[in-house]
Chain A
Amino acid sequence: MRIIRIIGKELVSVKENIPFNLATIISPLLFLLAFVVMVSGGITIPVETQPASSESAFLQTTTNCVAPDGTPYLKLEEASAEGAPDGRSADRFIVEEEPSISENGATGTITHLVNDVNSNMTKNYANRLTGALVNYINENREANTVEVIEETRYESDIPWDESFAVSTLVFGAMLAGLLFGQLSMTSEWENATIKLLILSPCSAAKTATGKVAGACIKAFVAGAVLVGVVALLYDRTLISGLWLVVALCLMYVIFASLGFALGIAVRSTMTAFLVSLVISLCLWVAGGGFGDLSYFGNAAQMVGSVNPATYALDAVRYAYFGGVVNFTPLIVLAVGAAVTITLVCMLYICWLKSERAIS
């Protein structure tokens, strides 16, 4: 019964600081919208061509170099004039000698004029040019060619922006959990009720559990808003709503508990907020939220294996996109949640004892 009252008090305290609670919902929403907009261009990049694509059979067929869903890898633009491109121009494909493909051989010369200092973009353009050439060769001859028979994990490629949006749900869960968790303690200092809390006859474990539960409920509401926005942006039927709810709720428990501990340690809402933002962002990037972990080295893989965000991302992605059924992420998150809340309760008990001794 006391836990219910503590939870009730935590929920009612939303009225004390409505801007903070709103900001906790709006913050991950801002990140969601920013990231989705950033990758909304998808995998198509512009390229200048010389000559115009209408004057080259090869360049015309580069428009056939597409992903299975029909998204072109390249958007062709005619180069404005010969000579060096300006800083705004994309890289340029120059057909020095028109490729000629027959069953007897293949000739041609293409120059890739690099116009971006970022070596990642040079790689992207080089890959697309090569892909277009392989496509052109395979279309114009059969002998000595290699045909790739694909079998993919998902029926169709998951759109990049949608994949990002879904992964932002995990970022939102971490941020909301940390913020509401830390606020449940830092607000006690800010409202000068910390002494009342320290001297409360209620058992420390119940107090800690009640506060963390209250933070979880608030985080759940924030998460529901994010899920709703994702649902409005993308028309996708969930593979498993239960997986989504369980994964996110376990994340709320873990991070509300961590936030609660952070609040005890830091005592200041401002500082705790900054720490929460940095922790959420870093765990999200390090868990594969910004780019799949397989791109990164052993150090990143090792960090990923102990990062709850890695498992949450796997679970949430399964909830939306399906794939191989694997209960490991949920089991790891459940164990993590149990361990975290237990440790945090113990931390609170120790802290309370030391504060009472001082008092």
Chain B
Amino acid sequence: MNLFVQELKKLLALTKADPKSLAAGIIAPTVILIIFALTFGNFVSLKLAVVNDDVGTLGAAFEETVFSQTSPLSGESYFEAIEVDKDEAQGLYEQGRVNGILTIPVDFSERLESGEPAQVLYVFDNYNTDMAKNLRLYLDEGIFAFYQEHMPNMEIKVQREYAVGAQLDWFAIIAVGVFMLAFLMGSMFNFLYLLNKERVHATLSEYRLAPASLLPTFAARIVVALLAGVVGAAVNALLVWLLTGVNLACGLLAILPVLLMLGVAFVSFSAIVSLTVRKFSGAAMLSMVTAVVAWFLSGATTSVKYATGALLDVALALPSSYGLSQIRAAVFSVDQSVGGLLATGKGWIVMTVYAVVLATAAWLIYRKRMGGGGR
């Protein structure tokens, strides 16, 4: 116990003397969160240039319905109209300042009033299949609304009901994932950084001469790493609250055990990689990158619910998928188990197995690499 305490004090002093190990775990996820806030927390209407050549009134009515449909994601209109003439529209489109051009021809009203189908010309940037799908379907929203208002005897009703207790903003869901990433990155980086610092200062040789078991020192390193992760996560949680209003403190009692288990698993993983591979920096780098990639694959930005095939298999094999599901469930008070796919009981088994196996492996490698007598 004494050795554990002494090692703890030493590592805390080392951390205090070189706050870079903490700053990195705070600044990195903060920057990631801000960038996601600027993008996924800030959806706006897609810009369309509109050229309305229609001589009747239905063209204007069509334009009005297309540009007044609102998205359940942002509450904003799907489209923002930029009313210009044909040449200006083409110029804006070529410059990439609008996503497309909607041209309502001169005979739009005439054709509809005479019972014929009308046409509109839709020029747009099919940047990728997702953007193209959105541009097509957003226009369909406007067309359907136009049918409901102007098609005689149009009585098709679309109702929306909810089988879930809430609707959450996409960025808020991602932000809770970034909170978990902040904890993991902060923990892993602290462990790696302090170990590397002692390697550079050549104080690791003292471990080889230690008469006692190195287990308390290993445990102390894990504890300090987890504490560093908590600091990073706390700062990130404050930022999440400021940006989204989501209060992570509400679910703290449920969140902390999850973070503890994931932290032990990920820090142990980074220990294994960095102590096994000869050159520390490359190994450390690989373990951090793997953690970020695992974060993405665990449903950080898209739910595991829609994953299929290899993606689903990978997601279900990662402990962070279960951890993230439980953290989100605690924060948003909604079931995130995906119908049992990420069930709490199963999640705890997976996370515990990862933590125990990786920590054991990390300890064995630590003992071997650091040397020492031990009993």
- Measuring CB to CB, which residues of chain A are less than 8 angstroms from any residue of chain B? 17-24, 26-27, 30-31, 34-35, 37-43, 45-46, 67, 69, 71, 73, 84-90, 92, 96, 99, 104-123, 126-131, 133-135, 137-138, 142-154, 156-160, 163-164, 179, 190, 268-271, 273-275, 277-278, 281-282, 285-286, 290-292, 294-300, 303, 324
Q: Which A residues are CB-close (under 8 A) to B289?
A: 23, 26-27, 30-31, 277
Residue pair A130, B141 in contact (C-beta under 8 Å): yes
* Sampled A-B contacts (26; CB under 8 Å): A87-B341, A88-B341, A90-B306, A109-B158, A112-B159, A114-B162, A117-B332, A119-B167, A120-B170, A127-B140, A137-B147, A137-B156, A146-B119, A148-B136, A150-B124, A157-B129, A158-B126, A164-B128, A271-B24, A278-B28, A281-B292, A285-B39, A295-B44, A296-B39, A296-B42, A300-B42
Residue pair A324, B159 in contact (C-beta under 8 Å): no
Q: Does B120 contact A (CB under 8 A)?
A: yes
Residue pair B306, A126 in contact (C-beta under 8 Å): no
Closest 10 CB pairs of A and B: A88-B339, A105-B153, A19-B282, A20-B282, A163-B128, A87-B339, A127-B137, A297-B42, A86-B339, A120-B170
- How big is the B interface, by class? 35 or more
Given A150-B124, A274-B28, the answer on whether A20 and B290 have CB atoms closer than 8 Å is no
A245 to B181, CA, bound (A): 34
Q: Does B62 contact A (CB under 8 A)?
A: yes
Stretch at the interface among B3-11, B295-303, B356-364: B295-303
Closest to B102 in A: A148
- The distance from the CB of A56 to the nearest CB of chain B, in whole angstroms, is 14
- The distance from the CB of B86 to the nearest CB of chain A, in whole angstroms, is 13
Residue pair A297, B156 in contact (C-beta under 8 Å): no
Residue pair A117, B166 in contact (C-beta under 8 Å): yes
Residue pair A296, B285 in contact (C-beta under 8 Å): no
A149 to B123, CA, bound (A): 8
Residue pair B125, A153 in contact (C-beta under 8 Å): yes
A119 to B166, CA, bound (A): 9
Q: Does B369 contact A (CB under 8 A)?
A: no
A135 to B144, CA, bound (A): 10
Q: Which A residues are CB-close (under 8 A) to B27?
A: 278
Q: Which B residues are CB-close (under 8 A) to A114?
A: 160-164, 167
A297 to B301, CA, bound (A): 19
Residue pair B117, A146 in contact (C-beta under 8 Å): yes
Residue pair A17, B137 in contact (C-beta under 8 Å): no
Residue pair B39, A110 in contact (C-beta under 8 Å): no
Q: Which A residues are CB-close (under 8 A) to B32?
A: 278, 281-282
Q: Mark B198-216, 1 if CB is under 8 A from A, else 0.
A: 0010000000000000000
A13 to B136, CA, bound (A): 53
A282 to B94, CA, bound (A): 27
Q: Mark B16-39, 1 if CB is under 8 A from A, else 0.
A: 000010001001100110011011
A20 to B284, CA, bound (A): 9
Partner of A286, one of B38, B43, B44: B38
Q: Which A residues are CB-close (under 8 A) to B129?
A: 42-43, 67, 69, 71, 157-160, 163
Given A273-B288, A278-B28, the answer on whether A116 and B134 have CB atoms closer than 8 Å is no
Partner of A270, one of B152, B154, B193: B193
Q: Does B252 contact A (CB under 8 A)?
A: no
Partner of B306, one of A37, A41, A274: A41
Residue pair A131, B140 in contact (C-beta under 8 Å): yes
Given A42-B129, A130-B158, A159-B129, the answer on whether A144 and B147 have CB atoms closer than 8 Å is yes
A271 to B167, CA, bound (A): 39
A351 to B106, CA, bound (A): 68
Q: Which B residues are CB-close (under 8 A) to A131?
A: 136-137, 140
Residue pair B290, A30 in contact (C-beta under 8 Å): yes
Stretch at the interface among B220-228, B243-251, B273-281: B273-281
Partner of B128, one of A92, A127, A138, A158: A158
- The distance from the CB of B273 to the nearest CB of chain A, in whole angstroms, is 10
- The distance from the CB of B87 to the nearest CB of chain A, in whole angstroms, is 16
Q: Which B residues are CB-close (under 8 A) to A129?
A: 158
A24 to B335, CA, bound (A): 39
Given A87-B337, A104-B153, A153-B125, the answer on whether A126 and B44 have CB atoms closer than 8 Å is no
Partner of B138, one of A42, A127, A153, A190: A127
A84 to B164, CA, bound (A): 9
A24 to B278, CA, bound (A): 16
A296 to B40, CA, bound (A): 7
Residue pair A22, B282 in contact (C-beta under 8 Å): yes
Residue pair A23, B286 in contact (C-beta under 8 Å): yes
Partner of B311, one of A37, A99, A291: A37
Residue pair A38, B157 in contact (C-beta under 8 Å): no
Given A87-B337, A148-B122, A273-B288, the answer on whether A38 and B143 have CB atoms closer than 8 Å is no
Q: Which A residues are CB-close (under 8 A) to B24?
A: 271, 274-275
If A151-B124, A190-B200 are given as contacts, then 17 extra A-B residue pairs at C-beta distance below 8 Å, sorted by A number, are A40-B309, A43-B129, A86-B339, A105-B154, A117-B164, A127-B137, A129-B158, A130-B141, A143-B116, A144-B147, A152-B126, A153-B127, A164-B128, A281-B32, A291-B40, A297-B44, A300-B42
Q: Does B219 contact A (CB under 8 A)?
A: no
Q: Does B355 contact A (CB under 8 A)?
A: no
Q: Which one of A41, A99, A150 has the greatest number of beta carbons of chain B within 10 Å? A: A150
Q: Does B340 contact A (CB under 8 A)?
A: yes
Q: Which B residues are CB-close (under 8 A) to A163?
A: 127-129
Q: Which B residues are CB-close (under 8 A) to A116?
A: 164, 303, 305
Q: Which B residues are CB-close (under 8 A) to A156?
A: 126
Q: Does B283 contact A (CB under 8 A)?
A: yes
Residue pair A31, B162 in contact (C-beta under 8 Å): no
Residue pair A115, B311 in contact (C-beta under 8 Å): no
Partner of A146, one of B118, B279, B338: B118
Residue pair A299, B38 in contact (C-beta under 8 Å): yes
